Structure 1
């Protein structure tokens, strides 16, 4: 089986223990947890027993070891991750508010997380991969834009597919250069995984029907619209269905969308139907939010099927 490859930040995350805890005051924190949207994604792909690699960079420090150890433990091929001897591993500090929102302090641009590049080995691997997954949160500089553009060209020229999760903070969409590049990526996308307003923003449409039609006309073959606790919807040229979410207690939503997307992409590579793939993806998202830490809820296919069976049994007992 050919591999799924992504590229971008590999970082650690440190989380405030208490809700409404402030960064300007001393407090208790949990972590460090291995993190970074593309790292969370590729970790779950590997958990699904699909060959998986990430192009990235960590520092020669304990935080870097935390990330590499977790990825290796779960089966990710880390040979495309560089280790920088001078820059520290990237970090994200996060605190939660009582309304469910989160605040972050990132060190990515000035850390090893931003020091990745396309080596000749990486380019060769891209030329033979099944899917390149592009994560919008990882496109934070003109250098990364150029790398992603080159990576997409290599993959498409060699018969691979592109999956795209915009996963972008709202303030970044105000960057006209970045916004236009996102639309360029969308025009080269096979599997589109937007959430919230991203579908409308990137198609410049006001209604769901028009936005879906516009994306499909660009060449997208599958759209999975993520709606969090409200479930998800699948659209293609010939099919549509809605999939409700699993109702679970949310402990930490960080990385749930990345885990969901990874499970869907992995399942499609395993040859599963969109409906079966989304069922397992929904289960993986529910499992992810049930654990502290962005990768702590990563699950194998066997574990996801067990979760689904247990959930169904609990409903039947009501």
Structure 2
């Protein structure tokens, strides 16, 4: 019998090429940073000692090798990370603004991540995890779209809590309408959901974060968090909506901020033997504060996985 995993995530694993100054000839330099929202989340949760596992596909190439090695160093189980010689590892080129916000250009036509098939997924991993997490980028194309739905059904039927972070990337969708339809299609199947304040109107009929939370709770989601950048996060369940205040930091690169927030939140949630809808207001504030501390440290460095802070740093920020 497989030892139960705390958090298993399915989705994209890719390289973020992040600006790193200019060469002597004045040409822009890019830093090879391992990333992908589900992997960022697992890396954050692993810092808390959580047992994590990744399901996905990369190329059998130099980038895929680098990503697999990175996950192993981060303490993430890679038994179901497929390396496929037929497809190239997805690449993202990131442009950073002065405030650390990003714009993306993707090399993914198709990328290895969208070619994950259900027959390549070990159902035992899905049947033996406490939380199963997905994003929406695996929904852009088949076969990964079908695999995502089928994997959710297996995990859900096995008693896992289903976690969802849409993580909208306009450049990877044919049009906003398709993105909206597919991102919303997962809502009936999830227990916990994290969105940014920029995604509220895509996932709900409302732009206001509180109204968006109330709407998603009415749709059957048991706990919803809306991240507000440096202002922290709003979190709600059947016990009401609370605000977890943020931490001040000097943002260099916001890549992975939301992922690391949710990784910290889920890792904290798993300390409690309770369901998402029964978390108290105090617990939601406490876990949100932990997530905010992780995110506030993450944005002070470039990259996704490589920017995840150590536990000592997180504890120090929480004390401050």
TMscore range, shorter length: 0.7 to 0.9
1:6 correspondence with 2:9 = yes
Range moving further from structure 2, 215-224 or 117-126: 117-126
Counterpart of 1:165 in structure 2 is: 165
Counterpart of 1:315 in structure 2 is: none
Query: CA separation in 2, counterparts of 1:7 and 1:164?
Result: 10
Counterpart of 1:205 in structure 2 is: 206
Counterpart of 1:288 in structure 2 is: 298
Instruction: For residue 307 of structure 2, give the secondary structure of its aligned residue in structure 1.
Output: coil
Query: Judging changes above 3 Å, is the alpha-carbon distance between structure 1 residues 85 and 209 closer, same or farther for their aligned structure 2 residues?
Result: closer
Instruction: For residue 281 of structure 1, give the secondary structure of its aligned residue in structure 2.
Output: helix
Query: CA separation in 2, counterparts of 1:252 and 1:221?
Result: 31
Query: CA separation in 2, counterparts of 1:99 and 1:41?
Result: 23
Query: CA separation in 2, counterparts of 1:248 and 1:208?
Result: 23
Query: CA separation in 2, counterparts of 1:75 and 1:30?
Result: 26
Counterpart of 1:257 in structure 2 is: 258
Instruction: For residue 106 of structure 1, give the secondary structure of its aligned residue in structure 2.
Output: strand
Q: 2:297–2:308: 8 Å Cα contact kept in structure 1?
A: yes
Q: 1:15–1:94: 8 Å Cα contact kept in structure 2?
A: yes
Query: CA separation in 2, counterparts of 1:205 and 1:104?
Result: 26
Query: CA separation in 2, counterparts of 1:206 and 1:175?
Result: 16
Following TM superposition, by how much is the alpha carbon of 1:126 offset from its aligned partner in structure 2, in angstroms? 0.7
Counterpart of 1:34 in structure 2 is: 34
Query: Judging changes above 3 Å, is the alpha-carbon distance between structure 1 residues 207 and 88 closer, same or farther for their aligned structure 2 residues?
Result: closer
Q: Name structure 2 gaps, 5 residues minimum.
A: 274-282
1:43 correspondence with 2:43 = yes
1:238 correspondence with 2:236 = no
**C-alpha RMSD over aligned residues:** 2.3
Query: Judging changes above 3 Å, is the alpha-carbon distance between structure 1 residues 281 and 173 closer, same or farther for their aligned structure 2 residues?
Result: farther
Instruction: For residue 185 of structure 2, give the secondary structure of its aligned residue in structure 1.
Output: helix
With structure 1 as the length reference, what TM-score do the two structures score? 0.87
Q: 2:102–2:253: 8 Å Cα contact kept in structure 1?
A: no
Match among 300, 303, 315 for residue 313 of structure 2: 303
Range moving further from structure 2, 257-266 or 91-100: 91-100
Match among 273, 287, 291 for residue 277 of structure 1: 287
With structure 2 as the length reference, what TM-score do the two structures score? 0.87
Query: CA separation in 2, counterparts of 1:202 and 1:173?
Result: 17
Instruction: For residue 286 of structure 1, give the secondary structure of its aligned residue in structure 2.
Output: helix
Following TM superposition, by how much is the alpha carbon of 1:43 offset from its aligned partner in structure 2, in angstroms? 1.7
Query: Judging changes above 3 Å, is the alpha-carbon distance between structure 1 residues 54 and 265 closer, same or farther for their aligned structure 2 residues?
Result: same
Query: CA separation in 1, counterparts of 2:69 and 2:213?
Result: 40
Counterpart of 1:122 in structure 2 is: 122
Q: 1:60–1:84: 8 Å Cα contact kept in structure 2?
A: yes
Q: Name structure 1 gaps, 5 residues minimum.
A: 313-318
Q: 2:118–2:146: 8 Å Cα contact kept in structure 1?
A: no
Following TM superposition, by how much is the alpha carbon of 1:209 offset from its aligned partner in structure 2, in angstroms? 4.5
Higher strand residue share: 2
Write out per-residue CA displacement over residues 44-100 of structure 1, whole angstroms, 9 at most, x where no aligned residue. Answer: 222221111111112222212221111111110001101122433221111223465
Instruction: For residue 103 of structure 2, give the secondary structure of its aligned residue in structure 1.
Output: strand
Following TM superposition, by how much is the alpha carbon of 1:120 offset from its aligned partner in structure 2, in angstroms? 6.1
Counterpart of 1:227 in structure 2 is: 228
Query: CA separation in 1, counterparts of 2:265 and 2:256?
Result: 14
Q: 1:55–1:118: 8 Å Cα contact kept in structure 2?
A: no
Query: CA separation in 2, counterparts of 1:121 and 1:206?
Result: 37
Following TM superposition, by how much is the alpha carbon of 1:153 offset from its aligned partner in structure 2, in angstroms? 1.1
